[in-house]
Copies of this chain bind each other. A is one copy, B any other.
Amino acid sequence: MVFHYPNGQPYSNNETKSTKNQAQQLKATTLFGNRGMTLEEELNHSNQYYRLHETAVIYKKPTPIQIVKVDYPARSQAVIKEAYFKQASTTDYNGVYQRRYLDFEAKETKNKTAFPFRNFHQHQIEHFRACLHQGGICFVIMKFVPLQRLFLYPATRLISRWDAQVNGARKSIPLSDVIENGFEIKYQLNPIIPYLDAVDLLLMQQNKGV
């Protein structure tokens, strides 16, 4: 009789193999924060962890694509033969956590001292503004790649600095501002990016402010 793990994998009592697999998995996970996975992949894994543990239901939205030509070969799946990438009108991630609507964008920079505004688009800022107006929880997950440091940076702060730079202020957010007004997220085993801990701190701060 074959037993199956909840993930659908058959159970194997071959211990050597099993232990080896576990070691490989652990090694892979330890490296997550350093290389091998993009920030998007790390967040997808974290969201999957949060869904499995019924902590939150958050997904990355699919990339919007303009389809021009589709073939329907006999007896097989439709094949898209010509299509183009479209610019998204919203941010990349949204979902629900403890009755609240969460909406965020994930961005990386190779810069060590500041986060350049060229990483953002006007329509993303407007989307944040609209969601905040409806009472959504909005933020950016910022990664300073050379420093391997991650932050949750509130959209309210992002918007005020964005508006200032449109009016001539500095075209980037200094790391010191991110440290002061954001919430640092430390890579860990599972979820790799425990960003909901930072969301809890953001909500606490908002509740105090009200």
Interface residues of A (CB under 8 A from B): 51, 54, 56-57, 59, 61-65, 67, 77-85, 88-90, 94-101, 103, 127, 130-131, 133-136
* Number of identical protomers: 2
With beta carbons under 8 angstroms apart, the residue of B78, B88, B103, B130 that contacts A54 is: B130
User: Is B98's CB under 8 angstroms from A101's CB?
Assistant: no
Q: Determine how close the nearest CB of chain B comes to the CB of A65; give it in whole angstroms.
A: 5
Return the chain B residue nearest A134 by Cβ.
Answer: B96
Question: In whole angstroms, how far apart are the Cα atoms of A137 and B99 in the complex?
Answer: 9
Question: In whole angstroms, how far apart are the Cα atoms of A82 and B57 in the complex?
Answer: 31
Q: Determine how close the nearest CB of chain B comes to the CB of A157; give it in whole angstroms.
A: 20
Question: In whole angstroms, how far apart are the Cα atoms of A84 and B89 in the complex?
Answer: 23
Question: In whole angstroms, how far apart are the Cα atoms of A131 and B100 in the complex?
Answer: 11
Chain B residues lying within 8 Å of A78, measured Cβ to Cβ, are 84-85
Question: In whole angstroms, how far apart are the Cα atoms of A144 and B23 in the complex?
Answer: 55
User: Is B95's CB under 8 angstroms from A80's CB?
Assistant: no
Chain B residues lying within 8 Å of A99, measured Cβ to Cβ, are 100-101, 134-136
Chain B residues lying within 8 Å of A56, measured Cβ to Cβ, are 134
